Amino acid sequence: MSMKQKYYYILGIIAIIGVIIISGCVQQGKPEPQIALSPYVEFEATVVSLSLEDPEGYYEGNEIYRAPKDSAVIRIDKIIKTGGSSNFDWSSIGIEEGKEVSLDFKYTVRPTKIITIVGETTQSGDTISHTIVPTEITFEDNFFVFRENGNSETETILPGLQEGTKFKTKLWKTFEFKVGKYEIIS
């Protein structure tokens, strides 16, 4: 091995060690997804009343351009647990056992299908790209259907809520408080 080859060999080893050290530092300082750190409350509730938005509010011609702005007055029957990165006072927004509170819904209180689709990942040379699937809302077979980008392909059915329905959900403290997915309980 010539002196020039040894020089490049040593330089290559130093570069590899540098990349390993730097990537280790970057991974250690990498923040977790914000939703994982956000405070949350998991609770069981009963629907007291529903407020459904009229179709004129979310239809444009024959197209649904956003989720209906539905809400419900619910009675908090049981707080199961709270968690997240800080101790948020859930009673400050009315989340207390035995209390009634009005909450908005991310999807709708009506029958809903949430279809999570994985975007396409392609590689061209050294470049890897990922196509994000835009959220699409349609109405099919008496269900509002939400197609969303995600990490795996899943389908979740929310059967819809009525007055007197008991359900369980997890509410996250983000920039808005909206009920997302829920589970009907008896």
Q: Report the mean per-residue pLDDT for the chain.
A: 82
Q: Measured between alpha carbons, how far is 49 from 182 in angstroms, rounded to an integer?
A: 17
Helix segments in the chain, DSSP class H: 3-28, 34-37
Tell me the per-residue pLDDT of 99-143, one tens digit each, with 9 for 90 and over.
999 999 999 999 999 998 887 777 778 877 766 666 789 899 999
pLDDT at residue 15 above 60?
A: no
Q: How far is CA 3 from CA 6, 7, 8, 13, 14, in A?
A: 5, 6, 9, 15, 17
Query: Residue 136 is encoded by which pair of tokens?
Result: 């699409």
Q: Which residue has the higher pLDDT, 176 or 72?
A: 72
| pLDDT digits 0-9 by tens, 57-92 | 888 888 888 889 999 999 999 999 998 877 788 989
pLDDT band of residue 25 (cuts 50, 70, 90) is very low
What stretch of H or E contains 116? Answer: strand 112-117
Confidence at 33, pLDDT banded by 50, 70, 90: very low
HEC secondary structure over 44-62: EEEEEEEECCCHHHCEECC
Residue 8 in this model has a pLDDT that exceeds 60: no
Residue with the two structure tokens 């809400």? 71
Model pTM greater than 0.85? no
123/97: higher pLDDT: 97
